[in-house]
Structure 1
């Protein structure tokens, strides 16, 4: 009779997947909860005049973007959904039997990393 402990791999291979799945989850959550509110406010309520457009004057938006909270919000809004999307692209290619291996992984996550870096550079340029 086999013991449960005989089937447990005592030295599992290291994987980078938890990092990518974590960014995927964070990006999906951000995109599902924060992006619709942002679109509602900026794309519907302000243009309809329900929210005064002066609330989003250049000076106020710049003050927000150059605060720590605002800078982190903008970076997260640009970067996290990109990580989510590129993780979906990478695994979607696999599902479609397009096995790109390390090249596909580097390209997909490289694009997400590049967008994230550009978001950080964009914010630094505002300061």
Structure 2
């Protein structure tokens, strides 16, 4: 057994848990919620399986302006973007494109911009 092992008593703090958390939330949302949304809005409604009146303009606006609807729309737009930009950031590294801190800031700033625009979009309704 190696007795020369030393424990770093003052490890450098990392911001990775924040990005991994958003990555995980976005991946979960994209895997579980997005397919159902596509099924309902992209398949069942156009085929007439869901009554067209259920998706009337007034009902959609009422949903979008409720707190649950607003959070749903923001989550649908923002969370998958955080997931995608985290993948792009780490994918660049895997492809030997070492963009450094500029690449990290660029990826996460873009995801932040999309998130902010989603909130502004909701507030404008």
Work out whether the TM-score is over 0.5.
yes
C-alpha displacement at 1:42, in angstroms? Answer: 0.2
TM-score, with normalisation over the residues of structure 1?
A: 0.95
Unaligned runs of 5+ in 1: none
Unaligned runs of 5+ in 2: none
Hey, what's the Cα distance between the residues in 1 that align with 2:84 and 2:33?
A: 16
Matched, 1:28 2:30: no
C-alpha displacement at 1:8, in angstroms? Answer: 2.2
Kindly tell me the number of residue pairs found equivalent between the two proteins: 124
TM-score, with normalisation over the residues of structure 2?
A: 0.96
Please list every run of at least 4 consecutive aligned residues from structure 1 whose deviation after the TM superposition is greater than 2 angstroms.
Answer: none
Hey, what's the Cα distance between the residues in 1 that align with 2:68 and 2:52?
A: 21
C-alpha displacement at 1:109, in angstroms? Answer: 0.4
C-alpha displacement at 1:92, in angstroms? Answer: 0.1
Hey, what's the Cα distance between the residues in 1 that align with 2:23 and 2:108?
A: 11
Aligned alpha-carbon RMSD (Å) = 1.0
